[in-house]
Amino acid sequence: MRLAHFAVFVSFSAMAAGSVQAKAVSEADLRAHIEILASDAFEGRKPGTEGEAKTVQYIAQQWATSGLKPAATDGGWFDAVPLIQRGQGSAEYAFTAKGRKLRIVSEEIILIGKQVDYARNDLPLIFTGAGVKADGSVAADVAGKAALVLFDAENVPNNMKSPRARREALIAAGAEAVIFIGDGQGSWPSLRRLLLSRPIALESREKRAPLEGAMSAEFAVAMITAAGQDWDKLRAHAKASDYAGEPLGIDADFKVTTDIYRFNSSNVVGKIAGRKKGSGAVLFMGHWDHLGICAPEGAPDRICNGAVDNASGIAVLNEIAESLAKKKHDRDIYFVATTAEESGLLGAYAFAEKPALPLDQIVISLNVDTIAIAPRGSKVAIIGRGTTPYDATVEAVAKKTGRAIESSTDANAFIQRQDGWALAQKGVPALMVGGSFADLELMQKFLGSDYHGPDDELTDKTELGGAADDADLHIALGRYFADARKYKSKKAGE
Ligand SMILES: [Zn+2]
């Protein structure tokens, strides 16, 4: 495998040397950026921390030095992204059946409100099994009720294993409260951890019930048994494919306070102004954020530095910017370093909501994420293959830079897991192009080991060869798509 790569590399690099090219991006160029961005001083680049301040300053300063102009909506470098976190405050609750208050010894319940204060009396509880049917629809009449949902039910559709998807379906069906039951092995601790982790959200896109939470199986069994119901029977009923839930004959009183923390994070936005006004724009993006302090107190290394994910992508973005800014181009070339990708592409969604340029002006958007995986001479995969008119064009440009093409659509498995997806939802042609998603075995090796852990650090072994190749490829793509003679855009009316 490696030998084959080596042979490919030699023959193609000989070809590349023959054509007129910008100075190639080196592994050392990339390493210099990653060394800073993934250093402990940047604390894992979590939104809202000192690490964010250092990161966005570093990016803006790099882009300014390269000759980019600030291009956020207010003319500066930074577009504010309003984020929100919720944490557990206090909770009082009582459950009543047939006018009798239920005695529940367990205290394993966590309740978090949408607003700071939540109070409701006589809220009827309905047991919904998995919460949704195989087709993802909600059969139970949950409107105005508190829906109890089995976290680990066997018949949860594959694409709705995450609590989020089922929660949102139940909210859309009108549930007043959505409370998961940690019924499987280890699921209560993981639900608990999830709820108490103060997950970051973009308030404008949130779909939340007035009250959400989780209880342990122990709590649920105690409550349901005290109400004279049979837990095992309920669980057995819930296995039916047409299960429509069962009212439990239990009413709940809730008085819950929630800690709410709102803060602004930043997308960094810069541009190289084109010389042909109105000819559209090429957009490069990559997320600067990572997970911050991610290991518990006392762990030998507590910082998730995110060297590969995604200091490597920002390093490549910086090098693309530096190279492309040396020449004039017809179209504007935008660079966006997004925040809060790790919390669900939030910075990218915020950009799509309030873009620094009209979205219909974007000829192509190219996202750069987790790029330091593959060695030199790797094939080029396209995430988003088949979703834009550009596959053949991108392949032709890639071949010119000496790269071979991975023509399968396997890499599309990652299409929803990267920032370009947020723009694609608004009709922007959005691709992610490069070597790191061409060899999915190599990618899976990373995802199954250092990924999202303290070991995603820059070391002597960090593979930057493929990232350097990909930087050159993106520079070539930028030059091609920003050239109004080479690439005529229907969008720009040419
Ligand atoms: Zn990540």
Expressed in angstroms and rounded, the spacing between residue 211 Cα and the centre of ligand 1 is 29
Phi/psi of residue 218, nearest 5 degrees: -60, -45
Q: How far is the CA of 290 from the centre of ligand 1 (A)?
A: 6
Task: Give distance in angstroms: CA of 406 to centre of ligand 1.
Answer: 24
How much distance in Å is there from the Cα of 381 to the middle of ligand 1?
A: 19
Q: What are phi and psi of 170, to 5 degrees?
A: -70, -35
| Distance of alpha carbon 11 from the chain centroid | 37
Q: SS3 of 170, please?
A: helix
- 289 Cα to the center of ligand 1, angstroms: 8
Continuous segment of H or E residues that includes residue 270: strand 246-272
The pLDDT of residue 491 is 55
Q: Are strands 200-202 and 78-97 parallel, antiparallel or unpaired?
A: antiparallel
For 422, which DSSP code?
H
Report the SS3 class of residue 477: helix
- The CA 245 to ligand 1 mean position distance, Å, reads 37
Nearest to 243 by CA among 141, 349, 91, 376: 141
How far from each other are the two terminal CA atoms of the chain, in whole angstroms? 45
Distance (Å, rounded) from C-alpha 151 to C-alpha 52? Answer: 34
Q: Which two tokens stand for residue 9?
A: 């590399």
pLDDT at 158: 86
CATH superfamily assigned to domain 2-67+273-481? Zn peptidases (3.40.630.10)
Q: Give residue 183's identity as a one-letter amino acid code.
A: D
Beta strands in 175-320 (DSSP E): 177-182, 200-202, 211-216, 246-272, 281-287, 292-293, 303-304
The CA distances from residue 207 to 291, 313, 450, in Å, are 23, 30, 32
Using the mean position of ligand 1's atoms as its centre, give its distance from the Cα of residue 47 in Å. Answer: 13
**Tokens describing residue 464:** 């930057």
Amino acid at 485: R
Lookup result for tokens 């594959």: 158
Residue 255 Cα to ligand 1 middle (Å): 36
φ, ψ dihedrals at 95, nearest 5°: -120, 135
CATH 3.40.630.10 residue ranges of the chain are: 2-67+273-481
Class of domain 86-260: alpha beta
Q: Where is 83: in which H helix or E strand?
A: strand 78-97
Q: Give the distance (Å) from ligand 1 centre to CA of residue 322.
A: 25
Whole-number pLDDT of residue 4: 34
DSSP code per residue over 29-58: HHHHHHHHHTSGGGTT--TTSHHHHHHHHH
Could you read off the pLDDT tens digit of each residue along the chain, which spans 494 residues?
Answer: 223 333 333 333 434 433 445 679 999 999 999 999 999 999 999 999 999 999 999 999 999 999 999 999 999 999 999 999 999 999 999 999 999 999 999 999 999 999 999 999 999 999 999 999 999 999 999 999 999 999 998 888 888 888 889 999 999 999 999 999 999 888 999 999 989 999 999 999 999 999 999 999 999 999 999 999 999 999 999 999 899 999 999 999 999 999 999 999 999 999 999 999 999 999 999 999 999 999 889 999 999 999 999 999 999 999 999 999 999 999 999 999 999 999 999 999 999 999 999 999 999 999 999 999 999 999 999 999 999 999 999 999 999 999 999 999 999 999 999 999 999 999 999 999 999 999 999 999 999 999 999 999 999 999 999 999 999 999 999 999 999 999 887 654 44
What is the distance in A from the centroid of ligand 1 to the CA of 452?
A: 6
CA angle 419, 420, 424 (to 5 degrees): 130
Length of the chain: 494
Q: Is the alpha carbon torsion for 434, 439, 440, 443 positive or negative? A: negative
486: left (phi over 0), alpha (psi -120 to 50) or beta: alpha
Q: Which H/E stretch holds residue 215?
A: strand 211-216
CB distance 112 to 88 below 8 Å: yes
Within the chain, all domains assigned CATH 3.50.30 are found at 86-260
d(CA 27, CA 14): 18
**Is residue 81 within 8 Å of residue 366, measured between CB atoms?**
no
